[in-house]
């Protein structure tokens, strides 16, 4: 199973949002990361067939999404960044309604709604109005609706926004359980959210694909390059602008602790790099 994007380009009013994005994805979880405005949502909406590309193509197992047409949409599950709910519906009613829109028969819908509610742990709350759901419960309901048709391609746009730390862990577990035999693309700003989850990380910036890396490879790229240093507040100007600073913390003694990523030696303590460090390093260096 594979999903290929070939030279995808998208422009809004003369502004190029995606520039010749080409990618080939196989089964498993991919993290799509990049700063605000990188084009992640636009790419996900194009893959989800909500937005047409200007040029280039999307192919599932070698067949274009246009040729597959309805069959392509049947392969898809999509969780948008901002999911609109009918708040007066109960969770169960909402999922039944979406099932009907997705063309499931009543029998199929009854079974899938029951299974997905169970899967996202909302069975006990299924008769509650969505208006009474917490942010995390709404996210889980959003994931449930994306799973109703048992999609082969699952697109999740910032699914962890609004989840508390416990819910983030639960969400990670849930995703890894369903990742078998699916292509899952998950966008996020929080690189640690895909740590231990994504098999590869797709890095985007300003409409360009910067590269696709396995997490171990990304981590290795900052090996021996991450330092921690404690400085007086008034020294900060000497470091800011000179070094790539991945973290800045005020210490209890009033000093400032900086986390610096540098190709050259820095007077400080060498520490283990994280995916977040590697992500910043690659963005700063302009990619691969």
Ligand X SMILES: Nc1ncnc2c1ncn2[C@@H]1O[C@H](COP(=O)(O)OP(=O)(O)OP(=O)(O)O)[C@@H](O)[C@H]1O
Binding positions for ligand X, rule: CB under 6 A? 12, 17, 34, 36-42
- To ligand X, the closest distance from the beta carbon of 80 in angstroms equals 11
In order, the DSSP letters of 77-141 are EEE-SS----TTSBHHHHHHHHHHHTT--HHHHHHHHHHHHHHTT-GGGTTSBGGG--HHHHHHH
**Helix %, strand %, coil % of the chain (to 5):** 35, 30, 35
Rank residues 49 and 92 by Cβ distance to ligand X and give the closer one.
Answer: 49
The DSSP code sequence of 187-255 is: EES-GGGGTTT-SEEEEEETTEEEEEE-HHHHHHHTTT-EEEEEE-GGGHHHHBTTBEEEEEEE-TTS-
Q: Vertex 198, ends 158 and 187: CA angle to 5°?
A: 20
Q: How far is the CB of 210 from ligand X (least distance, A)?
A: 12
CB 13, min distance to ligand X, A: 6
Task: CB nearer to ligand X: give 17 or 174.
Answer: 17
99 vs 187, which CB is nearer to ligand X? 187
Q: Alpha-carbon distance 73 to 75, whole Å?
A: 5
Tally of CB atoms within 10 A around 186: 25
Which is closer to ligand X, CB of 12 or CB of 84? 12
CB of 267 to ligand X, least distance (A): 35
The answer to whether 184 and 202 are in contact (CB under 8 A) is: no
Q: Which is nearer to ligand X, 39 or 215 (CB)?
A: 39
What is the smallest separation between the CB atom of 181 and ligand X, expressed in angstroms? 27
How many whole angstroms from its chain centre is CA 51?
A: 18
Q: Give the nearer residue to ligand X in terms of CB position, either 38 or 113.
A: 38
Quick one: 125 or 205, whose CB is closer to ligand X?
A: 205
Identify the helix (H) or strand (E) that includes residue 72: helix 70-74
Residues paired with 9 in a beta bridge: 55
* Smallest separation (angstroms) from ligand X to the CB of 38: 4
CB of 52 to ligand X, least distance (A): 12
């Amino acid at each position: 199973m594979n999903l290929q994007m070939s030279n995808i380009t998208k422009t809004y009013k003369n502004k190029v949002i995606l520039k010749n994005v080409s990618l080939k994805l196989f089964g498993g979880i991919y993290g799509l990361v990049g700063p605000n405005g990188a084009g992640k949502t636009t790419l996900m909406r194009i893959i989800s067939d909500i937005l047409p590309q200007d040029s280039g193509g999307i192919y599932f197992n070698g067949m274009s999404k246009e040729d597959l047409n309805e069959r392509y949409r049947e392969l898809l599950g999509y969780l948008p960044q901002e999911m609109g709910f009918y708040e007066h519906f109960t969770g169960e009613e909402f999922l039944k309604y979406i099932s009907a829109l997705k063309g499931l028969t009543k029998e199929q819908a009854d079974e899938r709604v029951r299974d997905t509610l169970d899967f996202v742990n909302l069975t006990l709350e299924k008769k509650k109005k969505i208006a009474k759901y917490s942010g995390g419960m709404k996210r889980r309901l959003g994931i449930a609706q994306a799973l109703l048709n048992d999609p082969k391609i699952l697109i999740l746009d910032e699914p962890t926004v609004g989840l508390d730390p416990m819910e983030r862990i639960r969400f990670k577990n849930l995703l890894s359980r369903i990742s078998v035999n699916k292509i899952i693309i998950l966008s996020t700003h929080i690189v640690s959210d895909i740590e231990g989850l994504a098999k590869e990380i797709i890095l985007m910036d300003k409409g360009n694909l910067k590269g696709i890396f396995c997490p171990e490879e990304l981590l290795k790229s900052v090996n021996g390059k991450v330092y921690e240093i404690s400085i007086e507040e008034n020294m900060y100007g000497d470091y800011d602008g000179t070094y790539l600073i991945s973290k800045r913390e005020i210490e209890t003694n009033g000093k400032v602790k900086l986390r610096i990523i540098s190709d050259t030696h820095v007077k400080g303590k060498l520490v283990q790099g994280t995916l977040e460090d590697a992500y910043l390093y690659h963005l700063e260096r302009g990619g691969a």
